[in-house]
Structure 1
Amino acid sequence: MSDPSTWDSLPQRLPDWFRDAPLGIFIHWGPYSVPAWAEPTAELGAVPDDAGWFAHNPYAEWYFNTIRIEGSPAAEHHREVHGDAPYDDFLDQWDASDFDPAAWADLFRRAGADYVVPTTKHHDGVTLWDAPGTGDRNTVRRGPQRDLVGEIATAVTEAGMRFGVYYSGGLDWHVRPTEPLVSGEDVHDLKRPRDDEYGKYCASHVRDLIDRYSPDVLWNDIGWPDENFHFEEGGLGELLEHFYAARPEGLINDRFAGAHQDFVTTEYQAGEIPEGLPWENCRGVGLSFGYNQVEDASQYMSGAQAVRHVVDAVSKGGRVLLNVGPRADGSFHELQVAALESLGEFMAEHKAHLAGSRGLGELELDGVDWARAVEKDGMCHVFLSGPTGAVRLDASALPGGFDWPTGGMEATLAGEDAAPVAISAARAG
């Protein structure tokens, strides 16, 4: 690695727009949306058996890997339904005829999102734009025959939101094929590519994304090839310098293998909330990021659950990058849309209280199942959820330093299936 002081010279950023953004939208869309199949097991972080996770992976976007694990339900499904067809057949079968980027952007904006981050290349190596060095293995030359990244970028920015890009720098099962990945050690150490040639291939892609689409977030995944940790031509250091120079309000996540970061990510239940650092939780509306036709209401978050998830993160100093997985044709499952619509109804009233707030965390209140608090502009806002009906809250149990009624405060809860209700008080004195 180069002199650490060189890495230290890169900017450390928390731009106002990101600090004040409670919600972003993640989009996982690729050839995996054609088979659209995974075993709906459990959320990441809720399964203790590492090897069992990969054979029973609920992430449909990992289909290319999971179908190669002998004896896995995905392998059996692929054999029965698709006759062991090569994965790239799905790229050619991908028909995005119902894709309406302006309608997508309008839905995300109404949901209360401030930024949108689509996948540009996932671990299968298929790029959603005509990326350099990919030949015809991209969505411009095959399948949809459209620059999906460019269309999303234009729609998102025209709708007044920030645009970011997800890119899998750590894995590419086409350019750097491996045996099936069956453990976290395989993914992050034993079977990931480390060579500078692959690193320069990735760097050329990300540089092209920066120059073409002007993203304000670089959201890398699964690390970066070790030998590319340098500031020479085509190195990661040079790439990040280019990004920061080109995008004055841009920032990067913490998945560049420790080289540099502006914010920390957690995923579903995996990862620790950092103390005093900006952070973001990413998760799907369901158990998968890519669309999974097997999922139903028992796997999808309800609107109320989605609202509570966002408020919970903000109350702890973070934000949520909530993922939707389109069908191959570009339409969304109605339960994904319903969750975003419910978020939008809540955010229309309460986003102003969340954006740029100081998180006050969880509260324990009698008669209330769930309570979170934030402070914004001298006001404390407490969000409450529990059984339908009136409840009297003891002022001593509410955040101190605010003018709560001395005799307590009454709130009328709307039930677990409804979005939280809010009570507020001004700072004392």
Structure 2
Amino acid sequence: MTGEMRPEQAQRPGARTHPSLPWFRLARFGMFVHWGLYALAAGRWRGTTVPGIGEWIMCHARIPATEYATLAARFDPKHFDPQAWVALAKRAGQRYVVLTAKHHDGFCLWHTKLTGYNTVDATPFGRDVVAEVADECRRQGMPFGVYYSQTQDWHHPDGDGNDWDYAEAGKDFDGYVEHYVKPQVRELLTGYGPLCVVWFDTPRRITRRQSQELVDLVHELQPGCLVNGRIGNGLGDYATATDNHLPDDVVDGDWETPVSINNTWGYRSDDHDWKSAAQLISTLAMAASRGGNVLLNVGPDGDGRIPEPSARRLDEVGRWLAEHPAGADGTDSATAVQRG
């Protein structure tokens, strides 16, 4: 569970004066929401179970982009209820929500003008998911942020990662960043109200200049919005730990670790290996005692429902935090570990 922080995902020098870091340091606990077309696949493709985390099914099964995109015609989540999602986060004691606006499969949960491959134009659902979750967060007083995959895009011919449809040697990755990524990030920053964070991921081939330009774009359009460490090249406003890992000791700086409740992030119907509430409480307390935040994930199913085992554990964590309000600040870590 412990490990070193990666230098390329570190907090940049001078970032500690960012105006939103005092809020971030107090927040300690957020909700990550991984949701997209992969929730419909639920870990299976053409009747075969595909090993690995749910949101990577397109890559792991090397599904052609045109074939994977047919899932959009089935995306019509009858139980999508952002009010229930945000209310659950509040009951759990979570203090911010981060939603996957675009994951590596390239499908967009908002009405982007850059592609028709989005929830409004490509699905029978026809609604802007980012807008509805952002609006509900504002109604319930919950800071809202978006996850955006800035390098990997298995649908776009110039995005990183898809080498089964598109030859890597022929890709114009620089053009992809300049003419697709930046305009989409601009849309998210200008069309959905104040964002607490733009949560980038898997920096891979992104250059230092490209990382810096994205950081500058975020800060120009929303000076109060944070950029996480996975922007790459050591340029984050705060550091991002490896998934499901904590640093070995107290970190001199601001950081966050993403944590899954089971073994996947996106929904898999066959993953029932749930961490106990006591384990989650222990992780939360240990992270806080080392000066960091926990972004705890839920993966709604294809109908938009957060799995009941996830919801039950979040409610248990929330009840514990209500009884031990210092737990998320690290001061009750010993008690939390004993309960584990």
Question: Would the TM-score normalized by the shorter structure come out above 0.5?
Answer: yes
- Aligned pair partner of 1:179 in 153, 163, 175: 163
SS of residue matched to 1:340: helix
Indicate how the Cα distance of structure 1 residues 331 and 56 shifts in structure 2: closer, same or farther if over 3 A, else same: closer
Q: In 1, are the aligned partners of 2:16 and 2:254 still within 8 Å (CA)?
A: no
- Aligned pair partner of 1:195 in 173, 176, 192: 173
* 1:128-177 CA-partner distances (Å, limit 9, x unpaired): 0111211x210011222110001011111211111111000010111136
Counterpart residue number, 1:256:
231
Counterpart residue number, 2:26:
20
* 1:177-211 CA-partner distances (Å, limit 9, x unpaired): 63259xxxxxxxx8996732111210111111010
The Cα of 1:271 is off from its aligned counterpart by: 7.3
The Cα of 1:223 is off from its aligned counterpart by: 1.3
Matched, 1:123 2:107: no
**Code of the aligned partner of 2:163:** E
Counterpart residue number, 1:59:
53
Q: In 1, are the aligned partners of 2:246 and 2:287 still within 8 Å (CA)?
A: no
- Aligned pair partner of 2:281 in 283, 307, 315: 307
Output the TM-score relative to the length of structure 2.
Answer: 0.83
Indicate how the Cα distance of structure 1 residues 290 and 89 shifts in structure 2: closer, same or farther if over 3 A, else same: same
Indicate how the Cα distance of structure 1 residues 258 and 174 shifts in structure 2: closer, same or farther if over 3 A, else same: same
* 1:195-243 CA-partner distances (Å, limit 9, x unpaired): 321112101111110101121101001117646x55xxxx654543342
* 1:85-107 CA-partner distances (Å, limit 9, x unpaired): 91111111112111111111111
Output the TM-score relative to the length of structure 1.
Answer: 0.67
Residue correspondence of structure 1 range 276-355 to structure 2 within 5 A = 276-296=252-272, 299-351=273-325, 353-354=326-327
**Code of the aligned partner of 1:291:** Y
Counterpart residue number, 1:204:
183
The Cα of 1:275 is off from its aligned counterpart by: 2.9
Counterpart residue number, 1:110:
91
Q: Which of the two has greater helix per residue? A: 2
**Code of the aligned partner of 1:122:** H
Indicate how the Cα distance of structure 1 residues 318 and 216 shifts in structure 2: closer, same or farther if over 3 A, else same: same
Give the Cα separation in 1 of the matches to 2:23 and 2:143: 9
Pairs aligned (count)? 316
Where does the alignment leave 5 or more consecutive residues of structure 2 unmatched? 1-11
Counterpart residue number, 2:119:
139
Q: In 2, are the aligned partners of 1:194 and 1:225 still within 8 Å (CA)?
A: no
Between 1 and 2, higher relative CO (CA 8 Å, sep ≥ 6) is seen in 2
Where does the alignment leave 5 or more consecutive residues of structure 1 unmatched? 1-6, 40-54, 69-74, 79-83, 182-189, 360-373, 375-379, 387-414, 417-429
Give the Cα separation in 1 of the matches to 2:198 and 2:150: 11
Matched, 1:383 2:335: yes
% identity of equivalent residues: 32
Q: Which of the two has greater strand per residue? A: 1
SS of residue matched to 2:90: helix
**Code of the aligned partner of 1:290:** G
Indicate how the Cα distance of structure 1 residues 350 and 37 shifts in structure 2: closer, same or farther if over 3 A, else same: same
Indicate how the Cα distance of structure 1 residues 277 and 11 shifts in structure 2: closer, same or farther if over 3 A, else same: closer
Larger radius of gyration: 1
Which is worse superposed, 280-289 or 84-93? 84-93
The Cα of 1:56 is off from its aligned counterpart by: 7.2
Give the Cα separation in 2 of the matches to 1:12 and 1:195: 32
- Aligned pair partner of 2:40 in 31, 34, 37: 34
**Code of the aligned partner of 1:304:** A
SS of residue matched to 1:383: helix
Give the Cα separation in 2 of the matches to 1:163 and 1:29: 15
Q: In 1, are the aligned partners of 2:246 and 2:257 still within 8 Å (CA)?
A: no
Residue correspondence of structure 1 range 43-54 to structure 2 within 5 A = none
Give the Cα separation in 2 of the matches to 1:168 and 1:191: 21
Give the Cα separation in 2 of the matches to 1:348 and 1:267: 28
